[in-house]
Structure 1
Amino acid sequence: MDLGQVFTFALATAFCLGGAWLCISRWSRARHLLDTPTSRIRSAAQGYVELVGMLRELAVPQPVAPLTGEPCLWWRYCIEEYRSNGKRSSWSVLERGTSEAWLRLADATGECLIDPRGAEVHPAFRKVWTGSLRHPRGIAPSGWLGLLSSGKRYRYTEERLHEGEPLYAIGDFRTTGGGRHGLDLSSAKREVIRQWKGDYAGLLQRFDSNADGQLDEHEWNRVRLAARLEAEDRHRESSAAPEQHQMARPSEALPFVLSSHGEEVITRRFYWQAAGGAVMCLAGAVWLAMQLGITAW
């Protein structure tokens, strides 16, 4: 087997395995979305949850999209440069970025803050255009420099989420405050002691009665009692705080999706991508079988 055959064999194998991964991952995402029922914010269980509501303004002033300068709640952009090298030409990415500003989702029962970091975001607004400047909001060059740089050498893509748009969200849902959670006194007490041990000198100053530089059993009993009282005080304070709902990326390998489109649109898109992956896998398998047949021959 020569070097060219080895490369072709490796390429066919990668094509087959890549298609299989795309098919399985996209199919799994679609099934997770369909199998998770939509919840109301106020009554949603803790954990993996699907929500539907409207986007509301959270920060004043609103974030500004970096390419157009338009106010929005979330943005994603990409700047590409057109490069030509002989017979080959293509768009090459120069710069890209994604907003990390939190979002506020509201339904008829309440509001939920969403940390979009790590989310797969599908906004309804997407704008693509071209220009002659590295950045579309920059100062246009003048004179000979302007003539030399004329032409649409750059392509810009900007996606945005706006206030008042519908939003589909599925991710890890947590609620704090409002007395919603009971007190696990043992674990809360251990957490307080762990924090106090981080400042051991301060712990000795508070509880080392005989000043011998260590805590005996009697002194440790005082530490445990003080930690229990501290844990109870913290629980009372958190219970008195107003209830706050938040959604973020799940710790497990579960989809975290934010979309201006409904569940049906997103799942259909995932199914089409899964079908494309299956075709890619099949084509790679056929190609691989042909290469193996040629090699055997």
Structure 2
Amino acid sequence: MYLFELSATILIALISFYIFFRNWKQLRFIEDTLTAKLCSAHQGYIELEGKGYPIHDQLIYAPLSNNQCIWYHSLIEYQETFLHKGRSQARWNIIYQNVSNQQFMLSDGTNSCLVDPDGAKIQSDIKLVWYGNTEWPTTTQILESQSMLNIGSKHYRYQERLIIPRQSLYIIGQFKTLPSHTNQSVREMMRDLIDNWKKDKLQLLTRFDTNKDGEIDQEEWESARLAAQLQAQQIYLERPVEQDVSIITKPDISQRPFIISVYPQKLLIKKYRQVAFSAFALCLMVMGYIVWLMRTYH
């Protein structure tokens, strides 16, 4: 019993210290990283605040509740009943889980950027829970009624966490600006045109094989390159001008947190500080108990 109790308390101390360290580390990143404006945001690890919007007003729909949103986490569980030591017990087993990885927009009122939620720790304040008798829900759960419905004898539980359009967001992650696809040079366009022509050899021969020998010689290749250059220059002059695309994603350095939260920065700081201090206090108390335990049994 002594060894079991000692091992259990050491494990609790280690877990509480890990929780303290993890939350304190994330707290330091949030407090030490300056909030940037999109119009002057630098490339690298930054934090942003704004509102979330779908890209080009193309809303996505949560697969279970069918609510319009910009992000969702869906979960279906089945209640399994089993006997344990002669007593009937129940547990919920996950049979379906899906997390949205579709990009959305963040706007600070003046400028906007893309947000790639893949790999982010996402904190939402909308959680829907309801029950049914079928593996897939036959009825949806609307946002106006977020309370849990009566379980009764229903064996399936459906859950969804959502971020809906126009919700305020706090995001800390890796910010970078990508050149638009139309920002190709004339030389790059020329190379792409020649590559495409090579894929259709018959058309290439029809157009540039002037001596009809079934091959494209050096002189004929020069004619093809000149035609590609002229066509590329024409495309370059006629193309619409597109701006570069900015996006915030998971940091390249794994130790840096990637957080998307509907809660404001001040509330996040308070939350992480409370969890960190509580875990540290628990760790100290458990360590004190370990010392007392070892002195008592030795």
Does TM-score exceed 0.5, indicating one fold? yes
Runs of 4+ aligned residues of structure 1 deviating over 6 Å after TM superposition are none
Deviation at 1:82, TM superposition (A): 3.4
Indicate the residue corresponding to 1:107 in structure 2: 108
The counterpart of 1:46, out of the listed 43, 68, 73, is 43
**Structure 1 CA distance for aligned equivalents of residues 265 and 44 of structure 2:** 19
Indicate the residue corresponding to 1:259 in structure 2: 261
Indicate the residue corresponding to 1:18 in structure 2: 15
Q: Label 1:38 to 1:60 Cα distance change in 2 as closer, same or farther (>3 A).
A: closer
Q: 125-134 vs 64-73, which deviates more? A: 125-134
Instruction: Answer yes or no: is the 8 Å Cα contact 1:23–1:277 preserved in 2.
Output: yes
The counterpart of 2:66, out of the listed 65, 69, 79, is 69
Deviation at 1:255, TM superposition (A): 1.4
* Runs (5+) with no aligned partner, structure 2: 140-151, 181-235
CA RMSD of aligned residues (A): 2.9
Question: TM-score, normalization: structure 1?
Answer: 0.67
Q: 91-100 vs 17-26, which deviates more? A: 91-100
Instruction: Answer yes or no: is the 8 Å Cα contact 1:177–1:241 preserved in 2.
Output: no
Deviation at 1:61, TM superposition (A): 4.3
Deviation at 1:62, TM superposition (A): 2.2
Indicate the residue corresponding to 2:223 in structure 1: none
The counterpart of 1:56, out of the listed 47, 53, 67, is 53
Q: Label 1:44 to 1:276 Cα distance change in 2 as closer, same or farther (>3 A).
A: same
SS at match of 1:9: helix
Instruction: Answer yes or no: is the 8 Å Cα contact 1:52–1:169 preserved in 2.
Output: yes
**Structure 1 CA distance for aligned equivalents of residues 138 and 297 of structure 2:** 56
- Structure-to-structure mapping, 1:205-216, within 5 angstroms: none
Deviation at 1:59, TM superposition (A): 5.9
Deviation at 1:282, TM superposition (A): 2.8
2:281 paired with 1:284: no
Indicate the residue corresponding to 1:154 in structure 2: 156
2:25 paired with 1:28: yes
The counterpart of 1:272, out of the listed 268, 271, 274, is 274
Residue identity opposite 1:65 in structure 2: A
2:216 paired with 1:248: no
Deviation at 1:112, TM superposition (A): 0.8
Residue identity opposite 2:267 in structure 1: V
Question: TM-score, normalization: structure 2?
Answer: 0.67
Deviation at 1:89, TM superposition (A): 4.2
SS at match of 1:255: coil
Q: Label 1:293 to 1:152 Cα distance change in 2 as closer, same or farther (>3 A).
A: farther
Q: Label 1:132 to 1:277 Cα distance change in 2 as closer, same or farther (>3 A).
A: farther
Instruction: Answer yes or no: is the 8 Å Cα contact 1:77–1:157 preserved in 2.
Output: yes
